[in-house]
Every structure is written in structure tokens, then in C-alpha cells.
């Protein structure tokens, strides 16, 4: 079996992301959200897009944590840390140093006993100045937004209002089944849609032909059986993660003596323990 899942089809979805990138280059900051059921391939889609379609952009990533103790703005904080690791000279710019204390609070938030809270508008102004100073198009992927805090949504609202022509494409992915967790952000979407700074894409299942293509890429020729694509299609219902696991488990089942469903359950449990997004 191949070491990692193949990427199959998604031509329409990649065109959508290409369009968002083009609008960002021409008109400035915008937000594109990608939703889909768990296992639908949201992360894989964005990673493929970043690898193949955004060579002129500095690409950064952060993600929400399934942890009530996570610090505020966690997805944004992770992305900003990556930016400063890639571009440490930004810290020395006078316009960034003027906000240095506020950036420090954002990057390494103190506990309640260590310092008085900093007004959120000052934190946002500091972050906005840093991103403007990057002087380079940015593509910032905020994954697992269903676990993000309200402060992250407030920041995105601020960014779409204040960063104007700054070429930053914010990409956000979230689980469709947890849509209610993004209620306050999605409510803002109507306003930003009118200003053409917002777009949404719902990721659907792969078709039967795509599932067959995936199977042929995963199954060695000497192990191929003609019934595999139909079996995988029926069991996975087109969800890429389940399809990949079904192919692997179906091939292992005769050797291990276990049912493919038992093997899939074990694999999915291990994936969840590693908190891998798909």
C-alpha cells in the first residue's frame, strides 16, 4: 500500500480556491471557508492547493484545539509564529516595534495573575500592522475552526474591515456537523459577501469513478480484485478518509482474519488519538 492517501479529483474545488487567490491578488484581504463532514478531505484539499497553486504567496497555518484550556486566538497565534520564524527581520521594523509589547502578549499570553488584560483593539492593531509589514502576499490556513474561540472570529471580522487592499487570503476549514460553533462568524458572512470579501464552499463526497481511481492508486496490481471499487464505494459513501481505510482494511482482512470493519474502527481510533485532520 502507498504510505499516504492519494489526492483524487476535486478539480471544481481547486478552481474555487484559484479564484479566491486571484481575487486576493487583485482586491486584497478576503476569507474563504470550506466546510464538510469529518473525513471529507478538507485539509487534504487545502494542502494540495497550497502546494500547487500558491507559489507567490507566503503560506502559514494554524488550527483550533479541541481543548477548553487552549489560549485565545490559538489558530491565528500559530500562523503568526510561523510568519516570524520565516521572517524574523519583521520584528526589527520600526512600525512593528511600535506595537512590540502588544505582539508579545498575543504570541505568549500571560496568565491572569501576571498582567492586566490588554484591550483587544490594541492587540488587533498590532497584528494588522505586522501583517501589512510583511510586504508579501499571504495565504493563511486556519484549520478546525469549529474549535476556535470567539476572539478568532472577532479578529477575522477586524481583518476584513481594516486590512483592505493588503493581499491576504484567509482560508478556514470546519466540520459541517459542528456548524453551530461558528454561528457568530457565519452571521457576519452576509455583510462580507456584499463587499465581495467572503466566499464559502461545501465539500461533498467523491463520485463512484473517483473512488475507483483512488482504489487503483492504493491497491497493488497483483492484489487487485474487480469487486473492490464497488465494495469501497458502498461502504464509504464517497468519504475519502473512510474510502482509504476501507481499501486498506479490505485488503488486510483475509490475512489478519479480522473483518474490515474491525480494522477500520482500529485505524480511525488511532487517527483520532493523533488528532489528524482530513
Read off the pLDDT of residues 69-123 as tens digits, 9 standing for 90 and up.
667 899 999 999 999 999 999 999 998 998 888 888 888 876 655 556 778 899 9
Residues 6+ apart with CB under 8 A from 73: 106, 123, 149, 151, 152, 155
- Residue 182's pLDDT is 94
pLDDT, tens digit (0-9, with 9 covering 90-100), for 149-196 = 999 999 999 999 999 999 999 999 999 999 999 999 999 988 898 889
Residues 85 and 194 in one domain: yes
CA distance 210 to 33: 24
Pair 237, 205: CB distance under 8 Å: yes
Q: Which domain holds residue 265?
A: 208-273
pLDDT value at 29 more than 70: yes
CATH of the domain at 91: 3.40.50.300
> Which of 169, 202, 235 is at the close of a domain?
202
Residues 117 and 233 in one domain: no
DSSP secondary structure letter of residue 118: P
- Residue 136's pLDDT is 87
Compute CA 95 distance to the chain's CA centroid, rounded to the nearest angstrom: 30
Residues 49 and 134 in one domain: yes
Pair 37, 176: CB distance under 8 Å: yes
The structural domain count of the chain equals: 2
CA distance 139 to 29: 10
pLDDT, tens digit (0-9, with 9 covering 90-100), for 133-149 = 998 899 999 999 999 99
- Residue 79's pLDDT is 96
pTM of this structure: 0.86
pLDDT, tens digit (0-9, with 9 covering 90-100), for 224-238 = 889 999 989 999 999
pLDDT value at 56 more than 50: yes
Residues 92 and 160 in one domain: yes
Residues 75 and 153 in one domain: yes
Give all strands (DSSP E) within 144-254, no chain letters. 168-175, 198-202
> To the nearest whole percent, how much of the chain has pLDDT over 70?
84
Residues 32 and 152 in one domain: yes
Characterise 206 by phi-psi region: left (phi > 0), alpha (psi -120 to 50), beta (else).
Answer: beta
Residues 177 and 107 in one domain: yes
Q: Taking CA 125 as the corner, what is the angle to CA 33 and CA 27, rounded to the nearest 5 degrees?
A: 45
Residues 153 and 220 in one domain: no
- Residue 257's pLDDT is 44
CA distance 196 to 252: 49
Pair 78, 62: CB distance under 8 Å: yes
Confidence bin at 46 (pLDDT 50/70/90)? very high
Amino acid at each position: 500500500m502507498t504510505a499516504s492517501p492519494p489526492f483524487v479529483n476535486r478539480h471544481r474545488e481547486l478552481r474555487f480556491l484559484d479564484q479566491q487567490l486571484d481575487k486576493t491578488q487583485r482586491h486584497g484581504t478576503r476569507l474563504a471557508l470550506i466546510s464538510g463532514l469529518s473525513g471529507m478531505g478538507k485539509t487534504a484539499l487545502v494542502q494540495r492547493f497550497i502546494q500547487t497553486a500558491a507559489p507567490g504567496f507566503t503560506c502559514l497555518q494554524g488550527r483550533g484545539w479541541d481543548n477548553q484550556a487552549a489560549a485565545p486566538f490559538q489558530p491565528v497565534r500559530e500562523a503568526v509564529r510561523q510568519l516570524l520564524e520565516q521572517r524574523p527581520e519583521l520584528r526589527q521594523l520600526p512600525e512593528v516595534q511600535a506595537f512590540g509589547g502588544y505582539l508579545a502578549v498575543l504570541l505568549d499570553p500571560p496568565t491572569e495573575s501576571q498582567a492586566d488584560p490588554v484591550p483587544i483593539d490594541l492587540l488587533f492593531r498590532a497584528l494588522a500592522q505586522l501583517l501589512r509589514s510583511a510586504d508579501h502576499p499571504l495565504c493563511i490556513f486556519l484549520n478546525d475552526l469549529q474549535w476556535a474561540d470567539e476572539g478568532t472570529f472577532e479578529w477575522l471580522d477586524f481583518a476584513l474591515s481594516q486590512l483592505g487592499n493588503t493581499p491576504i487570503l484567509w482560508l478556514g476549514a470546519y466540520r459541517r456537523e459542528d456548524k453551530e460553533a461558528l454561528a457568530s462568524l457565519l452571521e457576519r458572512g452576509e455583510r462580507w459577501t456584499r463587499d465581495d470579501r467572503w466566499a464559502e464552499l461545501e465539500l461533498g463526497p467523491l463520485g463512484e469513478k473517483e473512488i475507483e481511481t483512488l482504489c487503483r492508486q492504493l491497491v497493488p496490481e497483483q492484489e487487485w480484485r474487480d469487486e473492490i471499487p464497488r465494495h469501497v464505494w458502498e461502504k464509504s459513501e464517497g468519504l475519502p478518509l473512510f474510502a482509504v481505510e476501507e481499501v486498506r482494511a479490505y485488503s488486510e482482512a483475509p490475512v489478519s482474519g479480522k473483518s474490515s470493519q474491525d480494522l477500520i474502527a482500529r485505524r480511525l481510533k488511532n487517527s483520532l488519538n493523533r488528532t489528524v485532520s482530513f
